Chains A and B, each alone.
Chain A
Amino acid sequence: MKFNKLLSLITLLLITSCASNIPKPVIEESSLDSLRAESLNRMSLQALESTNKNHKKLALCHKKEYNKASELFKESLDKNQKNPHYWNQLGVCYFLKGEYSKSQMYLGISEGLAKSKKMKAIVLNNQGLIQLKLANYPEARELFSKSTELNSRALTPKFNLAMLYSKFGLLGKAHKLLFQLRKENKIDPDINYQIAHIYLLNKKFTLAKKYFEMIPDKYLKRDDVLTNYATTLYYLGDYQKAQKLLGEAPKQMPTYADAQSNLSDQISKNLE
């Protein structure tokens, strides 16, 4: 029992450390990023450098320059005590830093100060992210759902909810949300990838392939996208393309290592 506990702890630590090292998905072209107006999350470092001054602190957090950001937050505290955006940003920073309890505290303040539904939706989304990170999925779902209810035009909570549904195999719900999102931007790589992934799981390989092909090359080369695309190609019998793709995998996401390896072995067998 104790050994199991220890093993779980080590595993958790490994996952955490791995997770912190996994590069977050970045979309350089703002036109491709359907969430660009709401989130700095998928901005590249260069793009973060040139954010406007209102989001300077947040940009620093996204760049992992937490201390600098903290100082700026402290400096601007007095004129922002009643500003829910300030607290939301601080909460996001702590979220990005991994200090979820503090993040929760500040997002709570933001929620208390938020007057508009739009603002509340923002905060709820970010609170949902904390629950998601803590693997408190019902709470995360609840928060993302409430966020979308408060602001049906907000794309980020919809996106996050779709990811959550997708994770738990609620593909119908995920599919619905993703198509709503796609209406806003047909060329968002992540949206197209998720749609393709759903089609793959539903064994609609041709459709899956169609959506994979909408994704620009540099975003196809992400481990998660690449692995799913290779799997689709495998089921479509395009072993060589699949194998080639697997050969170009950046191998930055350890959670896909097994799948890539297994797929590659299977393709090799089939090719033989």
Chain B
Amino acid sequence: MKQLQLQFTLFLFTISLSSIAETKKAEDKRDVKNTPMTKDLSPKVDRWAYLMKLIDEEEKTINMVKKKSEHLEYRLFELYTERIKLYKEKENKAFIESSTKGKKISRNKAFRKTLYHYDITKKFGFKILKKYPRTRYKAEIWYTLALNSRDYAYDKKQLRYLKNALRFTPKGSVTWYLATVSLAEYYYNEKKYKSAVATYEKVIFNKEDEWYTKNLYNYGWCLLKTHKFGAAINRLEEGYTLSFDKKYIDFREQIMQSLVSFYVIGKEIQRGIKFIMENDKNPFDALYKFAGKTSAKGFYPETEQIIELAEDNFDSKKKVEQLADLRLFQFDFYKNFNKEDKLFKVSKDLSEIALNDYQREETIRKFSDKVRTEQIIIKKDFDKHAQSYDVKRLNSIKSYFKFLATVDKTNLALYEFYTAETLYSVQEYKESLVVYKSALENQLKTPAKEDIKRKAIDGLFSSIDFAELSKKEEKVELEYAYSKYLSIWPKDKKAQQIYPKLFALYLSDARHDDIHQSLVSYNKNFPDDLSKQQDLYRTHLDLLIKNKNTLLLSSKIKEMQTGFMKFTQGEVKKTEVILANLLFNNFQDLRSKGDDKDALAGYQEVFFNRNYPQSIKAEAGFNVGLIYTDLYDTAKSIKWFKKSLPLFNRKEQLKKRVYLEKMSQRSALLQDFLNAAHIQRLVMDNFCSMKEENKRNFEQAIEFDLANDYITKVLYTYDEYQNCTEPSKAVQTKIIKHLFEFKHESEFLSFIDKKGMLSAHQELISYYLERKFWQYFEKDRSKEVTYKNYLLKTDKAKYTALFKQIKSYHQLKKDVMAFSKNPLKMDKVFDGEKFNQKLNTRIKEIRPVIDLSKGLLKFGNANLTLLSYNEIIRLLDNFSQEIKSYTPQGLDPSYPKDFVPMFKKQMQQLAANFEKEKIEYRKSAHDFSEKYNILTERINETRQGYSILKAFDLRVPASILANTYDME
């Protein structure tokens, strides 16, 4: 009972295990990792572990039975066999993994557990055989041992085990059948084809075996191997046909794969074609393989025929792929059969159709091989046959590279490079040049697997050298090559040599922007080559100078000023001077032709143009000033000097100062004192701090304005520019003298009123003040007082004394007038006695008046002396006239009749004395004047010839008779 229960349990268990195993079998492509096997199992259950567990559990269950039956023993044997399978599966997977990782491990080690369990199983099987010598499972056991040996141990015991299996199983049984099939397969595998054939013939009748199709397949192979081609084809065709039946394993693919070979080997190609076309619904694969076989065996027309059929029988779902495969095949086919035209056509086609990755790789490989071969041929021909080559071959090479480029777009650059290399090898340099360029450009856009940039550029340079281009073309190409090289390898050693070459190239075409950029780049990447770069820069400047490109030269100067290329200030300045000369030479020419207007316009344009450096603008503005000076437009010339001078640097300003001073001189010499003075002031405005140097400017500014008699300006300059220099005594003297000589009285007085002036120029100022005083003396009282006060300021002591004498003079005048106004009056009745008394009194009265003049005459002032003389002479003249006029009145008759004439005669004599005295005084006055050269404008008694002049108001204008001294 217990045993029965156990058996029932085992039965159930076995069913469950079997069902699970079958489920597993059905999914033989399942991933053995932790993926769900069925919907019933947990997702995390390992299939292998699970199966092993089942085996273990069943084994355990069976081993619970102490006395096992042969059936159970056999079951155990089966379980052990299952276990080997599982271990084999596991260890095989590990073995493959370690092999792919490059780890080498021996088979025994790799399949240790498999072999272990194989051994256990084998021993167990032998044990069963020994224990149950007549067991019904004998043949099965031997069969299983044979399969185990075949599948797991490789111990070459398969044959013996199979033979034993056959020996112990009745013919016709399943085991016999299976063992015979296995034996046939054994012989087949051992290449014992005859034995295999004989063995297959025993079982080939069994059409019930689902593996019948496989057996036919194997049998067919054996027949083929035994050169029974027709029979072999028959078997395979049969197997193929039967594969359509679901009863059998579908072996169509394998069979067809072999059939196509069989047809070829059996030389039954047309049969094959017919069979395929009749039986294969999607005959392409078969035809494709067939074509491969016929081609390999040299059946050209047949292959063509198959190809044609294949072309018409693409699988609609796989057409694209199949077409490509076909073309690939055709490529090899035509190549092998040297059908170049067809090969080319197919290649072209291949390059245009869609390809999968593998096909693409194949295409690339095939094209590459082809083109390589062509290259070798063409090169050999070229070397061998006096540098001639087959043009068609060259074109073919070019085309193949194009095909390659089409198929393998990412390596377009590489293929172009190869094309260029090919062209170069046959000395087609012009063409190779173009292609190298294209290769390079494409390499830059889409880098190929190999970096061909450097090679391409080398090729480019070399092609340019040999291409016999025109100068113009060569330039274009070199420019490309140089600039491309530099853009890729700006800091390369070769680049260091290329920069100057590129520069020279641009220079030859006067491409200024490019010239500049090339130099910037050179400098940036090779800053240590500064000296060379400076030389290059200079050559550019030379070009600009030669072409008189002033605007650009100006921008270059600005560049230099900012420190570009680190030129010295001296060099920058030198370049500025050159620019100035270039600009200004034109304008100078205009001037020399008398075209001042255009010259002005030219200079002004330069001045207002922002593009020119400041120093140039300054020079331009200065030149405008010069032109206006020559045109006598003082205001404008000064305006322009004012504008331009601040733009110069200090050093230049100092140079210009010298120039301006000379210009001022010249202006003065050219009779333009206004401009001359303005310029001197301008100099002082700009150099006010140079006090010592400004002395001359100050003096000249004043002198020039004095020359114009421009007093307002003189005094303005004097006052305003004192902070720029110390006014010298000499210039003060000049101003004082001019103000006096040119009758600027009020300005004269204001000027001498300045601080320190009176004391510094006392003698001169007093002299002038005194002259002015005497000029206004007794003519203009207010001016007389003004000058009197000034004189007292200059020398109080001296002039106090003078004015004291003048006071005496006034007294003298008063006395003279008083005397003259108080003549002796004749009595109505003449009384001689009385008259004599009166006369004596009168005569006595005159003396003190005359005596009063003596002090004045002694004082020694010329004007005062002459005035005094004049008074005395008048006094004496008046008195002598008075005396002469005495006439006695109311004479007593006692007086004689001739009393009056006698009286008159006496009076005449008396008057004559005073007349004589008058004449003496007059002579003294004349002598005094002559002696001391006194020039006085007062026309009075003291002047010689006064009576004649007075008589008719005669004048003596000396100036009209004065003569210029013109000639030497």
User: Which residues on A are within 8 Å of B, measured CB to CB?
Assistant: 1, 4, 19, 22, 24-25, 35, 37-42, 55, 58, 70, 73-74, 77, 81, 85, 88-90, 92, 95-96, 100-102, 104-105, 109, 118-119, 121-122, 125-126, 129, 131-134, 136-139, 141, 147, 154, 156-157, 159-160, 163-164, 166-173, 190, 194, 197-198, 200-203, 224, 227-228, 231, 235, 253, 255-256, 258-259, 262-263, 266
Does A156 contact B963, Cβ atoms closer than 8 Å? yes
CA distance A82 to B165 in the complex (A): 151
Of B936, B954, B958, which is within 8 A of A231 by CB? B954
Known: A105-B668, A200-B948, A203-B948. A163 touches B966 (CB 8 A): no
Question: Which of chain A's residues have a CB closer than 8 A to the CB of B926?
Answer: 169, 172
Determine, out of B278-286, B598-606, B704-712, the stretch whose residues face the partner at the interface.
B704-712
Of A90, A154, A164, A266, which is within 8 A of B965 by CB? A154
Cβ-based interface call for B952 (8 A): yes
CA distance A126 to B771 in the complex (A): 23
CA distance A70 to B670 in the complex (A): 9
Min CB distance, A58 to chain B, in Å? 5
Of A109, A131, A163, which is within 8 A of B961 by CB? A163
Does B960 contact A167, Cβ atoms closer than 8 Å? no
Residue of B with least CB distance to A73: B671
CA distance A42 to B780 in the complex (A): 38
Does A170 contact B741, Cβ atoms closer than 8 Å? no
Min CB distance, B303 to chain A, in Å? 111
CA distance A98 to B707 in the complex (A): 13
Question: Which of chain B's residues have a CB closer than 8 A to the CB of A173?
Answer: 930, 933
Of B704, B956, B967, which is within 8 A of A39 by CB? B967
Min CB distance, B782 to chain A, in Å? 6
Does B966 contact A259, Cβ atoms closer than 8 Å? no
List of 3 A-B pairs having minimum Cβ-Cβ separation, nearest first = A201-B945, A167-B958, A105-B707
Of A4, A172, A253, A263, which is within 8 A of B930 by CB? A172
Does B966 contact A164, Cβ atoms closer than 8 Å? no
Min CB distance, B862 to chain A, in Å? 11
Question: Which of chain A's residues have a CB closer than 8 A to the CB of B668?
Answer: 105
Cβ-based interface call for B946 (8 A): yes
Does A129 contact B962, Cβ atoms closer than 8 Å? yes
Of B709, B929, B945, B948, which is within 8 A of A101 by CB? B709
CA distance A190 to B961 in the complex (A): 8
Residue of B with least CB distance to A25: B961
Of B707, B771, B939, B957, which is within 8 A of A102 by CB? B707
Classify chain B's interface size. Answer: 35 or more
Does A101 contact B963, Cβ atoms closer than 8 Å? no
CA distance A118 to B945 in the complex (A): 35
Does B669 contact A81, Cβ atoms closer than 8 Å? yes
Known: A41-B964, A74-B671, A259-B954. A202 touches B945 (CB 8 A): yes
Min CB distance, A114 to chain B, in Å? 10
Min CB distance, A262 to chain B, in Å? 4
Residue of A with least CB distance to B939: A169
CA distance A177 to B346 in the complex (A): 138
Question: Which of chain B's residues have a CB closer than 8 A to the CB of A122?
Answer: 965, 968
CA distance A4 to B946 in the complex (A): 27
Does A167 contact B957, Cβ atoms closer than 8 Å? yes
Does A163 contact B933, Cβ atoms closer than 8 Å? no
Question: Which of chain A's residues have a CB closer than 8 A to the CB of B740?
Answer: 136
Of A42, A255, A258, which is within 8 A of B957 by CB? A255
Residue of B with least CB distance to A19: B960
Known: A133-B959, A134-B741, A164-B958. A37 touches B967 (CB 8 A): yes
Does A70 contact B930, Cβ atoms closer than 8 Å? no
Please list 11 pairs of residues, one from A and one from B, whose beta carbons are closer than 8 Å in the complex, sorted by A's number.
A39-B965, A55-B966, A109-B669, A125-B965, A133-B959, A168-B929, A169-B929, A169-B944, A170-B944, A197-B956, A231-B948
Does B741 contact A139, Cβ atoms closer than 8 Å? yes
Cβ-based interface call for B558 (8 A): no
Does A39 contact B743, Cβ atoms closer than 8 Å? no
Does B963 contact A201, Cβ atoms closer than 8 Å? no
Question: Which of chain A's residues have a CB closer than 8 A to the CB of B963?
Answer: 35, 38-39, 41-42, 156, 159-160
Does A156 contact B965, Cβ atoms closer than 8 Å? yes
Does A105 contact B944, Cβ atoms closer than 8 Å? no
Does B935 contact A137, Cβ atoms closer than 8 Å? yes
Does A166 contact B956, Cβ atoms closer than 8 Å? yes
CA distance A224 to B958 in the complex (A): 11
Question: Which of chain B's residues have a CB closer than 8 A to the CB of A81?
Answer: 669
Greatest chain A CB density within 10 A among B703, B740, B966 is at: B966
Question: Which of chain A's residues have a CB closer than 8 A to the CB of B155?
Answer: none
Interface hits, B526-582 → A, CB 8 Å: none
Residue-wise, chain B 112-131 has the 8 Å CB interface mask toward A (1 for contact) of 00000000000000000000
Min CB distance, A113 to chain B, in Å? 12
Min CB distance, B626 to chain A, in Å? 16
Question: Which of chain B's residues have a CB closer than 8 A to the CB of A22?
Answer: 960
Does B952 contact A74, Cβ atoms closer than 8 Å? no
Known: A156-B965, A169-B929, A201-B945. A231 touches B952 (CB 8 A): yes
Question: Which of chain B's residues have a CB closer than 8 A to the CB of A40?
Answer: 964, 966-967
Greatest chain A CB density within 10 A among B668, B709, B960 is at: B960
Does B958 contact A163, Cβ atoms closer than 8 Å? yes
Cβ-based interface call for B476 (8 A): no
Does B945 contact A38, Cβ atoms closer than 8 Å? no
Does A104 contact B707, Cβ atoms closer than 8 Å? yes
CA distance A125 to B962 in the complex (A): 10
Question: Which of chain A's residues have a CB closer than 8 A to the CB of B959?
Answer: 19, 129, 132-133, 163
Residue of A with least CB distance to B740: A136
CA distance A262 to B937 in the complex (A): 22
Does B964 contact A39, Cβ atoms closer than 8 Å? yes
Residue of B with least CB distance to A94: B671
Residue of A with least CB distance to B705: A101
Min CB distance, B161 to chain A, in Å? 139
Of B704, B930, B933, which is within 8 A of A141 by CB? B933
CA distance A98 to B943 in the complex (A): 30
Does A39 contact B966, Cβ atoms closer than 8 Å? yes
Min CB distance, B218 to chain A, in Å? 130
Min CB distance, A192 to chain B, in Å? 13
Question: Which of chain B's residues have a CB closer than 8 A to the CB of A19?
Answer: 959-960
Min CB distance, B402 to chain A, in Å? 83
Cβ-based interface call for B65 (8 A): no
Interface hits, B897-942 → A, CB 8 Å: 926, 929-930, 933-937, 939
Interface hits, B205-225 → A, CB 8 Å: none
Does A256 contact B955, Cβ atoms closer than 8 Å? yes
Question: Which of chain B's residues have a CB closer than 8 A to the CB of A109?
Answer: 669
Known: A4-B780, A101-B708. A58 touches B962 (CB 8 A): no
Does A101 contact B944, Cβ atoms closer than 8 Å? no
Question: Which of chain A's residues have a CB closer than 8 A to the CB of B704?
Answer: 105
Does A201 contact B966, Cβ atoms closer than 8 Å? no
Question: Which of chain A's residues have a CB closer than 8 A to the CB of B642?
Answer: none
Cβ-based interface call for B895 (8 A): no
Interface hits, B730-764 → A, CB 8 Å: 738, 740-743
Min CB distance, B135 to chain A, in Å? 151
Question: Which of chain A's residues have a CB closer than 8 A to the CB of B782?
Answer: 1
CA distance A185 to B735 in the complex (A): 42
Does A38 contact B929, Cβ atoms closer than 8 Å? no
Known: A101-B738, A137-B935, A164-B935. A170 touches B965 (CB 8 A): no
CA distance A256 to B741 in the complex (A): 28
Known: A74-B670, A136-B741, A168-B936. A126 touches B945 (CB 8 A): no
Question: Which of chain B's residues have a CB closer than 8 A to the CB of A4?
Answer: 780
Does A89 contact B929, Cβ atoms closer than 8 Å? no
Does B935 contact A38, Cβ atoms closer than 8 Å? no
Does B968 contact A119, Cβ atoms closer than 8 Å? yes
CA distance A45 to B738 in the complex (A): 34
Min CB distance, A196 to chain B, in Å? 12
Known: A231-B954, A258-B953. A96 touches B944 (CB 8 A): no
Cβ-based interface call for B251 (8 A): no
Does A102 contact B708, Cβ atoms closer than 8 Å? yes
Min CB distance, B779 to chain A, in Å? 10
Question: Which of chain B's residues have a CB closer than 8 A to the CB of A157?
Answer: 965
